[in-house]
């Protein structure tokens, strides 16, 4: 019979080998098991929480009696469930740590009652995994090569987008012949001339926050890879929708007339101007015809979702501020009459759904592995970029550089500046004497 929670001496992580021995005795284990774990292998509380059935059967422990292995593994499983928060403090999770027990059926109702907050359906269904909580990935390699490829993918897509914007501007419908389409929001809200600039200001603020998150996040290269891949995919889809159908200009105040750019080289040059300015009006870029759907809304929404996903939930103020910037940015787009309401709605819906679908698959490897062939066909980028990520990416933060590295870089720089200042100071009197 397993020891009750009230019988356990103190926090498990702080247990000594003697306290582990006491726990084993209260659980009714043999002197052979106690001697093997406590005397020979010095198992303390921290080591006890991370033991698995495979550890018990494999060298150097190599337990031989199956009954002892199963009884101990059952008690370990119960202890790990009771101390799930301790496992999280160790950077582990219930699923990956003890997945060897994930299909174990508990039949002792007294033991089940030790966990009043647990879902009792876990004890009723023998095939239900006990590790029901989301499992964090234990090993997350940065994979710089994949991050570089994802950046190259986004780079190519942004160039394609800029070139497509040049083409659709050539095809923009005549404003006199094709007036703005009926729109519930645009028909009832007057044009605000400065609103579109404010939209881009809110987007710039979101970008600064996202850069700060990337700099301090421990798994920054995985975040970058996901951001580049998702952004590139949404903007590539936008290129297709822009080419398929050309909508009439949404605002009569806009100066949108077809501009024949001439040969291919002239179009590439103008595409470079759009690409260099990131398609932003505050950078002097003005385009027409790139409707269905809004690229500004895509950028605002993507930044907002990444910021809120990869910062701790306790940062309520930051999450609220991020959502406010997202919503106000969308409002400014519509107030400027730069896009139809349907452009903004579709952009928000597609961006948010793609983000959520991607992360649902990434955080639940069983979904991806259930039909890996179909996943590779329909989600080739996802299958490639996420092949080494085995679960949820934890929000852990660290400075990108150590104090020693900063000193190693700053000290030579300061010495160079000081030497240059001394040289300038000595050069002054010499120049004065020569004059």
Active-site residue (options: 124, 339, 359, 371) = 339
Nearest to 350 by CA among 238, 269, 254, 432: 238
Cβ 368 vs Cβ 380: under 8 Å = no
**Phi first, then psi: what are they for 173, rounded to 5°?**
-65, 150
Active-site residue (options: 89, 296, 359, 371) = 296
Known catalytic residue at 219: no
Nearest to 68 by CA among 95, 16, 31, 41: 31
The packing angle between helices 220-244 and 341-363, to 10°, is: 140
- Bridge partner residues of 217 (DSSP): 397
Contacts of 87 (CB under 8 A, 6+ apart): 49, 50, 80, 93, 94, 97
Known catalytic residue at 170: no
Known catalytic residue at 339: yes
H-assigned helices in 83-118: 84-89, 94-97, 109-112
Contacts of 351 (CB under 8 A, 6+ apart): 234, 297, 298, 301, 302, 305
Cα 348 to chain centroid, rounded? 18
Active site residues: 296, 339, 343
């Amino acid at each position: 019979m397993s020891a009750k929670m009230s019988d356990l001496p103190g926090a498990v992580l702080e247990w000594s080998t003697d306290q582990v021995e006491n726990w084993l005795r209260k659980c009714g284990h043999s002197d052979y098991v106690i001697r093997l774990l406590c005397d020979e292998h010095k198992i303390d509380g921290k080591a006890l929480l991370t033991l698995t059935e495979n550890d018990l059967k494999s060298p150097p422990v190599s337990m031989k009696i199956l009954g002892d292995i199963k009884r101990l593994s059952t008690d370990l499983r119960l202890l790990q469930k009771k101390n799930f928060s301790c496992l999280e403090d160790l950077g582990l999770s219930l699923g990956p740590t003890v997945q060897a027990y994930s299909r174990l059926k508990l039949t002792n109702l007294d033991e089940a009652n030790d966990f009043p907050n647990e879902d009792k359906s876990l004890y009723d269904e023998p095939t239900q995994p006990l590790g029901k909580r989301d499992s964090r990935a234990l090993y997350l390699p940065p994979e710089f090569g994949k991050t570089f490829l994802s950046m190259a993918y986004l780079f190519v897509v942004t160039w394609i987008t800029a070139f497509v914007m040049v083409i659709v501007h050539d095809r923009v419908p005549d404003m006199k012949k094709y007036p703005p389409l009926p729109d519930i929001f645009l028909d009832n809200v007057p044009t605000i001339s400065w609103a579109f600039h404010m939209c881009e200001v809110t987007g710039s603020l979101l970008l600064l926050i996202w850069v700060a998150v990337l700099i301090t996040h421990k798994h920054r290269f995985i975040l970058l890879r996901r951001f580049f891949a998702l952004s590139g995919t949404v903007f590539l889809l936008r290129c297709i929708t822009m080419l398929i159908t050309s909508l009439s200009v949404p605002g009569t105040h806009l100066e949108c007339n077809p501009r024949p750019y001439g040969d291919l080289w002239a179009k590439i040059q103008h595409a470079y101007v759009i690409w260099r300015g990131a398609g932003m009006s505050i950078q002097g870029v003005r385009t027409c015809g790139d409707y269905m759907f809004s690229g500004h809304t895509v950028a605002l929404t993507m930044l907002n979702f990444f910021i809120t996903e990869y910062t701790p939930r306790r940062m309520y103020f930051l999450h609220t501020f991020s959502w406010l910037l997202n919503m106000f940015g969308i409002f400014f787009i519509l107030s400027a009459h730069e896009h139809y309401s349907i452009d903004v709605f579709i952009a928000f819906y597609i961006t948010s759904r793609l983000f959520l679908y991607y992360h649902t698959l990434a955080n639940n490897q069983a979904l991806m592995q259930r039909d890996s062939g179909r996943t590779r066909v329909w989600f080739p980028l996802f299958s490639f970029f996420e092949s080494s990520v085995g679960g949820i990416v934890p929000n852990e933060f660290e400075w990108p550089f150590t104090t020693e590295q900063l000193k190693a870089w700053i000290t030579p720089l300061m010495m160079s500046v000081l030497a240059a200042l001394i040289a300038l100071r000595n050069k002054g009197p010499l120049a004065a004497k020569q004059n």
